Structure formats: structure tokens, C-alpha cells
Amino acid sequence: MAKKEYSLAHTKWMCKYHIVFTPKYRRKIIYNQYKVDIRDIIKQLCSYKGVE
């Protein structure tokens, strides 16, 4: 993935994202049921945005 650095007259920045999934009650039962679905959705979003 190419790094895109944006700049203005006196500033430079690079946008980065960090996604954290935290279920409200963090129950393993719920998470295990949806683990594969969540992984697939996140992979699709990452490929759409060009994230490795």
C-alpha cells in the first residue's frame, strides 16, 4: 500500500486507522458465532479501501 502524506503550508499528516471490535458484554458465545462473519466483513472493507 502506498503511503499518502498530505500537507498544507505548515503541516503534514498521514491518516491511519485502527479498528477494535469490542462486544458490549464480551461473551465468547456471541463472538464465536459471528467470528467468521465479522472477519469476512472486515476483510471486504479493507480490500475496498486498499488496506493490507
CB 1 within 8 A of CB 52: yes
Per the domain annotation, does 6 fall within a domain? no
Which structural domain, as residue segments, surrounds residue 35? 15-49
Alpha-carbon separation of residue 13 from 2, 3, 31, 51 (angstroms) = 14, 11, 35, 18
In a domain, 5, yes or no: no
Residue 8 maps to a domain: no
For residue 41, being part of any structural domain is answered with: yes
DSSP classification of residue 10: S
Is residue 7 in a domain? no
- Reported as a single tens digit per residue, the pLDDT across 8-41 is 888 887 777 777 776 666 666 666 777 888 888 8
Burial of 46 (0-12, 13-18, 19+ CB in 10 A): middle
Per-residue model confidence (pLDDT) at position 3 = 67
pLDDT band at 42 (very low <50, low <70, confident <90, very high): confident
pLDDT at 50: 81
pLDDT at 35: 80
Domain count, the chain: 1
For residue 10, being part of any structural domain is answered with no
